[in-house]
Structures are given as C-alpha cells and as structure tokens.
Structure 1
Amino acid sequence: MLRKALGNRLAPDAATFLDMVADNGVMEFPYSPPGLPSRLDGKAAIARHLEGLGDMIAFERMGEPTIYATTDPDVTIVEFEGFGRGVSTGESYDQRYISVVRTVAGRIVHYRDYWNPLVVLRALRGSAVVDALAGGAADHG
C-alpha cells in the first residue's frame, strides 16, 4: 500500500516497511491511548513496535489508499483503512487512518499516523470497556 502511495519517493530496494524507513526514522501516533507509544525514535524502536503489534491485532487486509499531494515534494498524505481483529478479544478492528509521510533520499524519515483510539481500545480491551468510557455511545463501525 505504501509502495503504491509513495511511488518513486521510495528507494527501489525498499521491499518491506522497515526497508522503507531510514535508520533515524520517527513514527508518531498523536491519538495513542495510554499504554501505547505516542512516538518511536529510530528503525530499531519501530521494528520492536511492529513485532509487538502482531500480538495485539491480527490484520486481515488494508483498503485502497487515497493519496494527497502537498506543496512539499517530500511530504505525502495517505488516507486508508485497515481491517482485522483484536488477538485477545476477537473484537473487530476496522480503522481509518490518515498518515503524513516525509521521505528523504528514498526512505521514510517521519511518519505521523492519525487514527481513532476507541477502535484500538475496542480491539485490545473489548466493547464493554469502550462503551463504559464513551458512556455507551461508542461507534461500533
């Protein structure tokens, strides 16, 4: 999905997401709920996070990305969806993302990922927890 979205902004040898990230790359999650990181500094930290993510959410598929050009040729905005289930709860993980991605010399140096924390909490902790937090008015879709 990112290869399609970023195209020639990525080095041709960048086959996996970690290949796409610069050694000093940064990922930020501005809406991260308590207990999950809001910032990862460096490729090693990003790799550790991605390894742990597989134990939390079983991704089934990603939606088709919508790519938005910006006035900065090194910055791309990507809107997409991810679908899966919480590993421990079985709850659905139907998430919408907007990511702001900066590339330099064919690698991602900064990836800011915006997503709904209630969807994450539902997948990780269950609907009852989210409904209690949201006063029973949580969006289940």
Structure 2
Amino acid sequence: MTMTAQGTDNETRFSSLSSLLRHALDDDMLSPDAETLLEMMRDDIVFEFPFPIPNGTQRIEGKTALATYLSIVGTVLSIDVLTVKRSLISQDRCSAVLEFSCMGASKTSGARYDQDYVSVIDFLDGRISCYRDYWNPLIAQAALGDSALLKARA
C-alpha cells in the first residue's frame, strides 16, 4: 500500500475529533451526511486500543458499544483542543494514518490530559470500518487515576 501525505496546517485547532477528521482526510473519503464521530462509523465498527491502560478497554465492536464507551469518556475527560500534525492517505483511499494531539483535563481531578495519538483508520463505503488508536496509556492513567474509563467495557 502506497501512502501519500495530505497537506495540513500545524496551527489549525479543532474542538472535536469529527472536525479534525473532516480536515485531515480528503472530502470524498467520508460520506457527506456523516457529521458526528458516530455518524462517520459503520454500524459494525471495530475500535481498538493496541496499548490500553492495564485492565482497560482494548477493543470495542459495534457502533452501539462505541457510543456507550464515548459517553463514559465524556464524563471523565474534557478535551479543549485537538491539533493535526500529519495525515497519510493510501492511494486506494481505503486507509489513512493520522498523527494528532489533544490538550485536555480530567473532569474529576483537573489533572492535565495532553496526549499524542497515531490513528490507523480503514474505510468502507464512506464510513470508518476500523479505527486503531495508538496513544500513551500512562498519560491517561496519570490524568484519570482510578476512574471508570480505566475499567470501561463497552
């Protein structure tokens, strides 16, 4: 698979992952009617965390389970801003790799949650079919302590 770099502006900041994805990916990779993050996902989405927090969520299957997981995340984390650093898109336009960061905080303790991510994303029929999120679990553990997110099982 050959990847091509998508031009990004390192100073562009986003308030949501869905707006970051719209910016970082080519317009025709996602269905135009998909506005929210969940709408961008297929019903049978597989969302993976290859390096989870110990005893944390490693794999989520299905849009309903992902919605549950994201609602848990929303109760414990506040993301202030996301910044895309790099976007690589396969020539067949079925895959992308995104490098981005976020600045946020724990809603319970106020501890900082400033995280870097590399996400490997697969597409099928204008929707995300698989999303692998590579991140540093120690940053999440430091910010969240013993919160529900550490043990969430969607």
Regarding TM over 0.5, the answer is yes
Contact 2:43 2:62 in 1 (8 A): yes
| Pair 1:31-2:51 in alignment | yes
Partner of 2:97 in structure 1? 77
Deviations, residues 1-28 of structure 1 (Å, cap 9, x unaligned): 0111223110000000000000001100
- 1:104 counterpart letter in structure 2: L
Residue pair 1:5, 1:65 contacting (<8 A) in 2 also = no
Structure 1: tracts of 5 or more residues without a match: 127-141
Question: Would you say the 8 A contact 2:84–2:98 is kept in 1?
Answer: no
CA contact (8 A) 2:24 2:84 kept: no
The residue type equivalent to 1:57 in the other structure is: L
The size of the alignment, in residue pairs, is 126
SS of equivalent to 1:63: strand
Summarize the alignment of residues 1-141 of structure 1 with structure 2, pairs less than 5 Å apart.
1-7=20-26, 8-125=28-145
Letter in 1 for 2:124: V
Displacement of 1:107 in angstroms is 0.3
Secondary structure of the corresponding residue to residue 54 of structure 1: helix
Counterpart-to-counterpart distance in 2, 1:38 and 1:73: 26
Q: Which moved more, 1:103-112 or 1:30-39?
A: 30-39
Runs of 4+ with deviation above 3 angstroms: none
* Unpaired runs of at least 5, structure 2: 1-19, 147-154
Match of 1:138 in 2: none
Question: Which one has a bigger Cα radius of gyration?
Answer: 1
Distance 1:46 1:2 in 2: 17
User: Which whole-Å CA distance do the structure 1 matches of 2:38 and 2:86 have between them?
Assistant: 22
Alignment RMSD (CA, Å): 1.4
Counterpart code for 1:16 = T
SS in 1 for 2:25: helix
Deviations 1:32-73 (A, max 9, x none): 112421000000011000000011111111113410133552
TM-score (normalised: structure 2): 0.78
Identity across matched positions, percent: 38
